[in-house]
Amino acid sequence: MKATVIVIGAGHAGLAMSRRLTERSIDHLVLERGEVANSWRTERWPGLRLLTPNWQTRLPGCDYAGDDPDGYMPVTEVAATLTRYARLVGAPVRTATTVRAVRAARQGFDILANDDVISARAVVLAAGACSLPAVPPVADAIPPSVTTLTPFSYRGPAQLPDGEVLVVGASATGVQLADQIHRSGRPVTLASGEHVRLPRSYRGRDIFWWLEATGVLAERHDQIDDLARARHLPSPQLTGTPEPITTDLNALAARGVRVVGRLGRVAGGLAQFSGSLANTCTLADLKMNRFLNRADEWATRSGFDDELPPPHRFAPTHIAPRSPLELDLTTGEITTVLWATGFRPDRSWLAIPVLDRNGHIRHHGGVVTEAPGLYVLGLPVLRTRASTYIHGAAADSEDLANHLRSFLSGGGVLPGPAAALR
């Protein structure tokens, strides 16, 4: 079987690309191992809401049109939105079709999907950046008496055994889960390493309004000084809730969550936490304030000051003086460890040597230059900082579809580096 282009994955990124290819009359198929929006249906915990406001859930040719633009979408609504979108754009999705291998072939690529081999001149990998939980090696030393979970296996507080919960990781997932579990009445300790602190809103506007207005989200991959670092930055300490709330460490501590430093080691059942929590928090406060300064400067420059409440600053992160450096996991007090230590893509089926030593795909703004005709979409800071979020796929898919079209019309000759950039 043949197709000109195979898109792997029917999440928002694969669907956006499908729309772009249809606009260009490029014949393609979208292969999806589950249903449309599979990751939102099967891999996210039930209480999750987007941390980006509804107005920002923009896909090519389809802006948010609901009656709650400032709300935060529950995960079920995300799945429903993407399902409607797939129908709207007429995406040729083959569901229940698992890609088991992608190999280079004489004329492009061979894709092993279920038990069929499909030949294609180009392949777009839109299989997700967060397909697997990233659990650190220290997990192996957790005593077997303690239940361990990841965001993939966590289904809600009711599933947890009685007792205290240690949430490891204080980025978006960790702060959300620590807050949710604590509200269910359990004691929670949150181990926080490097993190990105942002308020839910500032001067009356959601923080994503500011990130967009100031141009931060539009910063391009080839203009960012330390791109590798930008691509691996922790997600901000933000939560989507029915009513906007801030979930930084101060807010969580005020609600009763115990905050400790980064989990460094577990030895003899003793969990040992870094003593540099105060420094890590000072750095996060500094970076937040740097962004707020930039926001204020932008507001003044753009004549927005009269429309907005005056600038202000948030209290520095307060660290409890007796924050423990060790916790004994064998006493039966802590009964669950929840790894909120990030996610990673699954590239196990990619049989083309384009991965670096950390397993990350080498690409230039989504163009895999070492394998002409291969593209990747839906990764953090792929082409701009907005690429990390759903709405970023609109511009990314447009740019990559243009590149792909010239690749196809050039008879397989890759356009020059300038075309790879924009």
- CB-wise, 209 or 389, nearer to ligand FAD? 389
Nearer to ligand FAD, 9 or 261 (CB): 9
CA distance 65 to 79: 16
The distance of closest approach from Cβ of residue 123 to ligand FAD in the complex, given in angstroms and rounded to an integer, is: 12
Could you tell me the smallest distance in angstroms from the CB atom of residue 260 to ligand FAD?
Answer: 23
Other Cβ atoms closer than 10 A to 282: 14
List the one residue out of 52, 47, 286 whose CA is nearest residue 179.
Answer: 47
Residues forming contacts to ligand FAD in the complex (CB under 6 A) are: 8-14, 31-34, 38-39, 44, 48, 50-52, 98-99, 126-131, 173, 343, 349, 378, 389-390
Q: How far is the CB of 162 from ligand FAD (least distance, A)?
A: 26
Nearer to ligand FAD, 10 or 89 (CB): 10
DSSP per-residue codes, 145-170? TSEEE-TTT---GGGSPSSEEEEE--
Helix axes 12-23, 75-88, angle to 10 degrees: 20
CB 189 within 8 A of CB 326: no
- Smallest distance from the beta carbon of 98 to ligand FAD, in angstroms? 5
Give the nearer residue to ligand FAD in terms of CB position, either 99 or 354: 99
Judged by beta carbon, residue 165 or residue 390, the one nearer ligand FAD is 390
Q: How many CB atoms within 10 Å of residue 387?
A: 25
Q: Bridge partners of 337? A: 148, 166
Nearer to ligand FAD, 14 or 373 (CB): 14
CA–CA dist 327, 319 (Å, integer): 17
d(CA 367, CA 355): 13
Q: At residue 155, what are phi and psi to the nearest 5 degrees?
A: -120, -5
- State in angstroms the smallest separation of the CB of 187 from ligand FAD: 24
Tell me the Cα Rg of the chain.
Answer: 22
Rank residues 127 and 175 by Cβ distance to ligand FAD and give the closer one.
127
Sequence letter at residue 303:
G
* CA dihedral sign of residues 24, 25, 26, 31: positive
Distance CA 82, CA 64 (A): 11
Whole-angstrom Cα distance, residue 259 to residue 311? Answer: 29
Nearer to ligand FAD, 108 or 151 (CB): 151
Nearer to ligand FAD, 196 or 281 (CB): 196
Nearer to ligand FAD, 33 or 231 (CB): 33
Least spacing, CB of residue 344 vs ligand FAD, in Å: 10
CB of 135: closest distance to ligand FAD in angstroms?
14
Q: In whole angstroms, how close is the CB of 81 to ligand FAD at the nearest point?
A: 12
**Cα-based distances in Å from 38 to 18, 41, 54, 142, 345:** 16, 5, 20, 31, 15
User: Nearest approach, Cβ of 292 to ligand FAD (angstroms)?
Assistant: 21
* Whole-angstrom distance, CA of residue 411 vs CA of residue 114: 29
In eight-state DSSP terms, residue 192 is: E
Residue 295 Cβ vs ligand FAD, minimum distance, rounded to whole Å: 20
Q: Give the distance, in angstroms, between the CA of residue 153 and the centroid of all CA atoms in the same chain.
A: 18
